[in-house]
């Protein structure tokens, strides 16, 4: 389970690479998450891999309970734990979406306590419907021209109303170093996730650039190790295929 300790208001310098040591100094409550994510990566032969981690968050009306209960905050901390292993800036860009998508805002190691509610307020994020494509465009635009792969944790609790547009963007971004890991808050068998479960069958892409896992009706019941294993299940296959295709160096 995610760890919530006392507030630590210190933050590492933006020019200081964030390592396990700097996490211990500036965010001791995240040390366990960093170690657990590292174990999951190492099991898959990804211990030396680099990637930029993005977090895309559903802010449709049905998500309110998950925000109120701290479930989304917990996922943000888990994303930071993964990012420490894959990147060295201690920062995860966060994109909220509903019918539209809000500009990316940074969640940072050492300033992570209550960060989701803080970013919602600063971005004036509203409740709305569910369209994936605007959020995908935000990530694509933010990562365009980058050589380092992007590992995108794309969280949602329901079906989108723009499946055709979403499929088009998956095709478009398949030639880019971006992997989309969709995470469903809800049962694996929910009809809300029918579209996401069929992403592996989308034809015409250079590589299969998306995966899906369900975190259950209450994702806080998952251990951190289980969550990381689910997130990383398809990433090694994409990375190998993307290298073979010359998408990732």
Give dist(CA 170, CA 153) in Å, integer: 14
pLDDT of residue 21: 81
Beta-bridged to residue 96, according to DSSP, are: 57
Task: Please state at what angle helix 71-86 crosses helix 31-43, rounded to 10 degrees.
Answer: 60
According to CATH, the superfamily of the domain at 40-244 is von Willebrand factor, type A domain (3.40.50.410)
* Distance, C-alpha 235 to centroid of its chain: 12
Q: How many CB atoms lie within 10 A of CB 47?
A: 12
Give dist(CA 242, CA 189) in Å, integer: 29
First to last CA, the chain: 35
| pTM of the full structure | 0.93
From first to last of the 249 residues of the chain, give the pLDDT tens digit.
Answer: 332 232 333 566 555 678 778 898 889 999 999 999 999 999 999 999 999 999 999 999 999 999 999 999 999 999 999 999 999 888 999 999 999 999 999 999 999 999 999 999 999 999 999 999 999 999 999 999 999 999 999 999 999 999 999 999 999 999 999 999 999 999 888 999 999 999 888 999 999 999 999 999 999 999 999 999 999 999 999 999 999 999 999
pLDDT of residue 5: 31
Give residue limits of the domains in the chain. Answer: 40-244
* Distance, C-alpha 183 to centroid of its chain: 8
Give dist(CA 231, CA 218) in Å, integer: 16
211 in helix, strand or coil? Answer: strand
pLDDT of residue 26: 85
């Amino acid at each position: 389970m995610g760890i919530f300790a006392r507030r630590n208001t210190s933050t590492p310098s933006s020019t200081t690479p964030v390592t396990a040591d700097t996490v211990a100094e500036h965010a001791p409550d995240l040390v366990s998450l960093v170690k657990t994510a590292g174990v999951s990566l190492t099991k898959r032969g990804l211990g030396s891999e680099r990637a930029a981690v993005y977090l895309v968050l559903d802010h449709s009306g049905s998500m309110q309970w998950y925000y109120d209960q701290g479930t989304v905050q917990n996922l943000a901390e888990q994303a930071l734990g993964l990012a420490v292993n894959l990147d060295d800036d201690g920062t995860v860009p966060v994109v909220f979406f509903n019918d539209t998508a809000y500009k990316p805002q940074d969640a940072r190691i050492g300033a992570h306590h209550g960060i989701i509610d803080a970013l919602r307020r600063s971005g004036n994020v509203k409740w709305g419907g569910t369209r994936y494509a605007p959020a995908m465009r935000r990530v694509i635009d933010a990562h365009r021209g980058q050589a380092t792969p992007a590992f995108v944790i794309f969280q949602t609790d329901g079906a989108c109303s723009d499946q055709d547009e979403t499929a088009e963007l998956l095709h478009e971004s398949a030639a880019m170093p971006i992997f989309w890991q969709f995470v469903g808050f809800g049962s694996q068998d929910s009809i809300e996730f029918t579209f996401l479960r069929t992403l592996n069958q989308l034809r015409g892409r250079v590589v299969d650039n998306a995966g899906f896992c369900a975190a259950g009706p209450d994702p806080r019941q998952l251990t951190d190790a289980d969550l990381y294993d689910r997130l990383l299940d398809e990433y090694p296959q994409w990375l190998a295929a993307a290298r073979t295709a010359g998408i990732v160096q």
